[in-house]
Amino acid sequence: MNELLSAFGIDYKILLAQILNFFLIFFVIYKFLLLPLNKVIQERQNKILEGLKIREESKRLIRRIKKLRDTILKKAYQEKEKILFEAEEIKKQKLEELRKEISGLREKMLLELNKEKELLEQKFYSELNEKLPEILMQVAKKVFASKELNEEFIKNMLSK
Amino acid sequence: MEARIIGEAIIRLAKQNKENLIEKLVENLKNEGKVHILKSIVEFLKLRNIQIKGQEPAKLYLAFDYDEKEIEKMIKEKFNINIKIIEKIINSDLILGGKIITSNYVIDFSFKNLLNKIIPKEKWKI
């Protein structure tokens, strides 16, 4: 074997040393470079995966939120429409009630006004009836206050 | 009432020319403290005197002053009533003309009466 190795110019001792050296370097590299690097890469990969997972989760959440928002908006819109419709109905109902109330009040007021008018008319005519003779007499006194007229009147009244 | 009775008694006594009894009657009234009815007796006698003469004693209400003799004459001519005005009262409420009140008649010839006839009484009574 030694001869064969010598024929190829290989010194087994050097070869052994080189092999040993190789494994030693390999071990050192593996131990101090590859393993931490691998660890770092693994961590990084994990982080990326986690990030991706979170992203996916976020996307899912966003979709869910969007869906929820849409549902809420739709519900809110429906609720708004319902409230508006109800408000419109209430408004119509209240307006109708108010119109009826105003109409009733108007009728009542008109009735009272008519009654008041009739009372005032009655009062006016009653006062007129009471005061007119007195007024008439005062006017007549002023108009006919003349001795000559009196004389003529007596003669007319007592003549044959 | 008492004045009327005494008045009538005085008239009868006067008709019988018993003046001394009249004097005694008056004296008696004085003694009884009834002098105040003498005025009423005189008023009654005045009225009776007018009636004895065939006249109606009357109260005259006038809106303005006017000759009562003239009115007496006009009443006699128009109604054939012989009145004697014993009291004249001016009342401007009559407006024009006047009113005569006797014990038997009321002759209203005032403008107020005329108005009362024209205007419905149940509504406007002046």
Query: What average pLDDT score do residues A153-158 get?
Result: 88
A136·B115 Cβ contact <8 A: yes
> What domain count does chain A have?
1
Calculate mean pLDDT across residues A42-55.
Answer: 93
Q: Which helix (H) or strand (E) holds B50?
A: helix B37-52
Distance from CA of B50 to the nearest CA of A (A): 23
- How far is the CA of A125 from the CAs of A17, A29, B94, B115, B125, in angstroms? 150, 133, 25, 20, 15
pLDDT of residue B30: 85
Question: What is the rounded radius of gyration, in angstroms, for the C-alpha atoms of chain B?
Answer: 19
Is there a domain that residue B124 lies in?
no
Chain A residues in contact with B111 by the CB 8 A cut-off are: 140, 144, 153
Buried b / exposed e along A41-76 (16+ C-beta atoms within 10 A): eeeeeeeeeeeeeeeeeeeeeeeeeeeeeeeeeeee
Say if residue B104's pLDDT is above 80: yes
Q: Distance (Å, rounded) from C-alpha B67 to C-alpha A147?
A: 12
B56 pLDDT band, cuts 50/70/90, is confident
How close, in Å, is residue B78 to chain A by CA atoms?
A: 5
Residues B62 and B109 in one domain: yes
At B17, phi and psi to the nearest 5? 55, 40
In the chain, the amino acid numbered B27 is E
Chain A positions contacting chain B at CB under 8 Å are 129, 132-133, 136-137, 140-141, 144, 147, 149-151, 153-155, 157-160
Are the beta carbons of A159 and B78 separated by less than 8 Å? yes
pLDDT, residue A99, reads 93
| CA–CA separation, A32 and A45 (whole Å) | 20
> In this complex, do B75 and A129 lie within 8 Å of one another by their Cβ atoms?
no
Are B61 and B114 in the same domain? Answer: yes
The span from the CA of A147 to the CA of A153, in Å, is 10
Per the structure, the complete domain to which residue B72 belongs is given by 56-118
Q: What is the CA radius of gyration of chain A?
A: 63
Mean pLDDT of chain B: 86
Same domain, residue pair B28 and B74? no
Chain A residue numbers with beta carbons less than 8 Å from the beta carbon of B125 are 133
Same domain, B60 and B103: yes
B9 lies in some domain: yes
Q: Are residues B112 and B65 in the same domain?
A: yes
Do B72 and B32 share a structural domain? no
Residues B42 and B75 in one domain: no
Residues B87 and B47 in one domain: no
Pick B96's closest partner by Cβ from A129, A153, A160. Answer: A153
- Do residues B77 and B33 both lie within one domain? no
End-to-end CA distance of chain A: 201
Model confidence at B126: pLDDT above 60: no
pLDDT at B122: 60
Asked if B90 and B43 sit in the same domain, the reply is: no
Residue B106 included in any domain:
yes
* Rounded mean pLDDT, B45-58: 86
Q: What is the ipTM of this complex?
A: 0.72
Examine residue B126 and state whether it is found in any structural domain, yes or no.
no
**Per-residue pLDDT at B63 exceeds 60:** yes
Model pLDDT, residue B38: 87
Residue B96 within a domain: yes
Residue B103 has pLDDT above 60, yes or no: yes
- Among A131, A136, A137, most B C-beta atoms within 10 A, so best to mutate, is A137
Cβ pair A137:B95 closer than 8 A: yes
From the list B66, B75, B111, which residue is nearest A144 (CB)? B111
For chain B, what is the domain count?
2
pTM, full prediction: 0.52
Residue B93: pLDDT above 60?
A: yes
pLDDT surpassing 60 at residue B125: no
Q: How confident is the model over A107-136, as pLDDT tens digits?
A: 999 999 999 999 999 998 888 878 877 787
pLDDT for A61-109, tens place per residue? 999 999 999 999 999 999 999 999 999 999 999 999 999 999 999 999 9
Residue A135: the pLDDT is 82
- Say whether pLDDT at B48 is over 70: yes
- Domain range for residue A121? 2-158
The CA distance from B95 to A141, in Å, is 5
Pairwise pLDDT comparison (A76 vs A1), residue with the higher score: A76
B69 with B42, same domain: the answer is: no
Residues B60 and B114 in one domain: yes
Residue B13 lies inside a defined structural domain of this protein: yes
